[in-house]
Amino acid sequence: MQPEWSPRISWTDLPGHVREGIEQIIGAPVMEARGQQGGFSPGTADRVLTASGQRAFVKAVSPQLNEHSPGIHRKEAAVAAALPAGVPAPALIGTYDDGEWVALVRSDVEGRHPHVPWHAVEVHLVLDALLKISRTPLPPELGQLPTLETELTDPFRGWTRVRRSPPEGCDPWVLCNLDTLERLAEQGLRDVVGGSLAHTDIRADNILITAADGAVLVDWPWAAVGAPWVDALTVLVNVRVFDPDFDVDALLKSHDVFGTATPENVNGFLSGLAAYFIDAARQPPPPGLPTVRAFQQRQGEAVIHWLRDRLPPSGPGPLH
Find residue 61's DSSP bridge partners: 102
Low-confidence ranges of the chain (pLDDT < 70): 1-6, 38-40, 314-320
| Nearest one of 283, 303, 302 to 293, comparing CA atoms | 283
Residues 199, 223: contact at Cβ < 8 Å? yes
pLDDT at 64: 94
pLDDT at 315: 46
- Is 11-108's fold the same as 112-310's? no
DSSP states of the chain: ----PPP---GGGS-HHHHHHHHHHHTS-EEEEEE---SS-SS--EEEEETTS-EEEEEEE-TTT-TTHHHHHHHHHHHHHH--TTS-SPPEEEEEE-SS-EEEEEE---EEPPPSSPPHHHHHHHHHHHHHHHTSPPPGGGTTPPBHHHHHHHHHTHHHHHHHSPPTT--HHHHHTHHHHHHHHHHHHHHT--SEEE-----GGGEEEETTS-EEE---TT-EEE-TTHHHHHHHHHHHHH-TTS-HHHHHHH-GGGTT--HHHHHHHHHHHHHHHHHHHTSPPPTT-TTHHHHHHHHHHHHHHHHHHHS-TTS-----
245 C-beta neighbours (distance < 10 Å), count = 7
CATH topology of domain 112-310: Aminoglycoside 3'-phosphotransferase; Chain: A, domain 2 (3.90.1200)
Pairing state between β 207-210 and 215-217: antiparallel
Domain boundaries in the chain?
11-108, 112-310
Listed as own residue / partner, the contacts of 129-132 with beta carbons closer than 8 Å and 24 or more positions apart are 129/88, 129/214, 129/215, 129/216, 129/217, 130/202, 130/231, 130/232, 130/235, 130/257, 131/232, 131/255, 131/256, 131/257, 132/86, 132/87, 132/88
Backbone torsion region of residue 99, taken as left when φ is above 0, otherwise alpha when ψ lies between -120 and 50, otherwise beta? left
Superfamily of structural domain 11-108: Phosphorylase Kinase; domain 1 (3.30.200.20)
Distance, first Cα to last Cα, the chain: 30
